[in-house]
Structure 1
Amino acid sequence: MAAGSGTRLAAGRPKAFVEVDGHTILERSLRPILLSSTPWQIVVVVPAELVDEAAALVPSRAAGFVSVVAGATTRQGSVAAGLAAVEPGVETVLVHDSARCFTPTAQFELVAETVERLGHGVVPGLPVSDTIKRVDAGGSVTATVDRSELVAMQTPQGFPRRALDEAYAAATEEHTDDAALFALAGHEVTVVPGASEAFKITTPWDLARAEMLAGDGRPRATPLRTGVGIDVHGFDAEQPLRLGTLDWPGEAGLAGHSDGDAVAHALVDALLSAAGLGDIGSRFGTADPRYAGASGEVFLTATRAILDEAGARIVNAAVQVVGNRPRLAARRSAMEEALSILLGAPVSVSATTTDGLGFTGRGEGVTVIATALVEVAAA
């Protein structure tokens, strides 16, 4: 929906055609939809005199999937015009306000998926944080509203296409959003979590906020980086087994300069790799006597400190143990809990065998593969 006049914005032209850091609000509102992996058709509803200008703003790679139609004098009439341009095979419709041009792709996908799962209307919303008062015509407070029951609506609002068409065809009065019209027609509407960045550009102050987010002064997105670590150790019957920081009584240990904890070592490599901070060999070399016989906890704790100092935050990690033994199933949860506490982030553990193939299949040792997701400081 981009047919509004933008009177409160007072920018001299319809809101969707006002620029934010060199790109129109309309262009910015299309980006998150174009990034979605979900198949889509986009219908852009604009003032009649700006149909050609709007069409020129559509990226060339998406032109075949985007229709631009003229709106009406009311929002409800404009939505109806947009619905009329939706392809016959489309079963789920999202109605989105272009003024919420920073709405993340995930919000579109969440609404669409929930509509298809529940079969009725879905709207994103945020809890109301301000205290709300009810006042009379003279401005006197008459009551304090329980804000736990209040939600601030956002877009896109999603609906089963046929039910929305019928609700619009039966509508006899104007509504401030599509969910209200849909509910009045007797249909259920469910609220899903919204996003703070999906705010609506309505006033000059909102536009200034948008400029800050989009321009050089914006808080930059924090990059996410992945890392992979692999560690291989042979069994040493003379050593106790320590794996995933747990002791395994009765099991042959793993040979190594330290305690041979291949799970901990693979995690260290994955974390350092993701953060761009080297690897276990460069940080904890075998020539350093401090790490002779050291436990996996020592390496993991030290690695977390290295990442903290560099301004990197561990988001999560995953470990897969490849080998015939030890059997992890009974202690998987305990290992996940111990590792998660040490790293301050969720760690998942899985195990597999090689069906008798290779040194792990012959029971000569284990291989551990770890992956990590790390949030690094923005440049």
Structure 2
Amino acid sequence: MPVNEAAPRVGVVVVAAGSGTRLGLGVPKAFVEIAGRSILDRSLDAVRGLGEPVALVIVVPSEAVAPTTEMLVAAGTRAEVVAGGTTRQRSVALGLAVLPDTVETVLVHDAARAFTPTAVFERVVAEVRASGHGAIPVLPVTDTVRRVSERMCGETVDRSTLAAVQTPQGFPRAQLQQAYDEAADDLTDDAALVMAAGHPVSTVDGDASSFKITAPDDLRRADDLLRRNAVPVPRTGVGIDAHSFDPEAPLWVAGLHWPGEPGLAGHSDGDVVAHAICDALLGAAGLGDLGSLFGTADPALEGAHAEVFLVRTRAVLEAAGFRIGNVSVQLVANRPRFSARKAEADALLGGLLGAPVSVTATTTDGLGFPGRGDGATAIATALVFAAA
């Protein structure tokens, strides 16, 4: 995920400053672990899967700023971490204050909704841009709903006019900032603030997996969800990519910039290593290939670097119930001289995929287009594990 790159137009404020009192575990809710990963870390998977630059801000309890920053560095996720306030509304305001000026659309997301898919984020962003006003994800209410007074049943409420509200909630930045500047009371969510400021808010489809982890039963539900996907069934995939050299372009290989070297031609940055990895992973999982998933017609991917493709591919696999075992890549090219930066490349790519990655390089002793110095190719193999 290219968070905080040049000119991000989308900002995501993840609110993770809650105390977690109702969980009764003695630690802030966002830092409770489910199957070895914190609720906060899991909540960021959807953001990591977004296909455009994002300015990410995470609001946590003051004592959690340093450990959260360390966790993000280890995961290869760039974000601004700020201390929250005494209320959710105050915490969001503190997050808004540090977003860069380039951000036009702001999404506010509760870390407690740890399994929200990337697709929900994308639907909210698309609706905000198309409508020019706020958008929130909702689910229809399926239970019969009655008014109750002093434990006595009243009339049935027409559930066709009701919806269960989720996050992320998205808004044009100016409208959200105005709503916070004018807020006189603490309201239940950001949409309520924006509507109180006189702006409309529309809805998009939510997702059942975006349930909020609040009580111990929710933790058990989350744990059960992960356990159902925990039986490892190994699958392998192979990916191959090749690009010709373009002396006018910068060279990006294995997620690294190589100054002074001719670049590789392509709609994105032409990183053959990253592209081969994506095809190997998607092929192993039976989820298509790089071209069908991303496509050269997408203007958001023009010049995109390895992290965009790798993080989004990882998110696609994880959403489908797969986890990455390891990846091995062979780069075939006369240049760049790769061995000196192998460890750097392995660490970068492994951090993005959350799994071991090993890249090696070789030449063809003058044979074929790589041997002639016309371009570079890469061959990747990947091992993934799927739920039974």
TM-score grouping bracket, smaller chain normalisation: 0.5 to 0.7
40, 63, 68: which one pairs with 1:26?
40
The alignment of Structure 1 onto Structure 2 pairs a total of residues equal to 228
* 5+ residue gaps, structure 2: 1-14, 238-285, 288-385
CA apart distance, 1:218: 3.7
Kept in 1: contact 2:20–2:29 (CA 8 A): yes
Change (3 A) 1:166 1:144: same
Q: TM-score, normalised by structure 1?
A: 0.57
1:217 alignment counterpart = 228
For residues 197 and 378 of structure 1, the distance between their equivalents in structure 2, rounded to whole angstroms, comes to 17
2:210 alignment counterpart = 198
CA apart distance, 1:217: 3.2
For residues 231 and 137 of structure 2, the distance between their equivalents in structure 1, rounded to whole angstroms, comes to 24
Change (3 A) 1:177 1:220: farther
Kept in 2: contact 1:34–1:62 (CA 8 A): no
Kept in 1: contact 2:229–2:387 (CA 8 A): no
2:90 corresponds to 1:81 = no
Q: Percent of aligned pairs with the same residue?
A: 52
For residues 140 and 204 of structure 1, the distance between their equivalents in structure 2, rounded to whole angstroms, comes to 28
207, 212, 217: which one pairs with 2:219?
207
DSSP 3-state at the match of 1:199: coil
Question: Where has structure 1 moved over 6 Å in runs of 4 or more?
Answer: 219-223
Kept in 2: contact 1:213–1:219 (CA 8 A): no
2:172 corresponds to 1:176 = no
Trace 1:108-119 onto structure 2 (pairs within 5 A): 108-119=121-132
Once the two structures are superposed, what CA deviation does each residue of 1:139-170 show, in whole Å capped at 9, x if it has no partner? 11121110000000000000000110011000
DSSP 3-state at the match of 2:111: coil
Let me know the Cα RMSD of the aligned residues. 2.5
CA apart distance, 1:212: 1.5
Structure 1 or 2, whichever has the larger Rg, is 1
Q: TM-score, normalised by structure 2?
A: 0.56
DSSP 3-state at the match of 1:197: coil
Change (3 A) 1:221 1:91: farther
1:98 alignment counterpart = 111
Kept in 1: contact 2:228–2:387 (CA 8 A): no
142, 157, 161: which one pairs with 1:129?
142
Once the two structures are superposed, what CA deviation does each residue of 1:286-314 show, in whole Å capped at 9, x if it has no partner? xxxxxxxxxxxxxxxxxxxxxxxxxxxxx
Change (3 A) 1:89 1:61: farther
Flag the structure with more relative contact order, 1 or 2, with Cα contacts below 8 A and sequence separation at least 6. 2
CA apart distance, 1:59: 4.5
1:309 alignment counterpart = none
2:71 alignment counterpart = 57
Kept in 2: contact 1:17–1:26 (CA 8 A): yes
Once the two structures are superposed, what CA deviation does each residue of 1:67-121 show, in whole Å capped at 9, x if it has no partner? 0000000010000000001111100000000000100011111101111111100
For residues 132 and 92 of structure 1, the distance between their equivalents in structure 2, rounded to whole angstroms, comes to 35
For residues 225 and 57 of structure 2, the distance between their equivalents in structure 1, rounded to whole angstroms, comes to 26
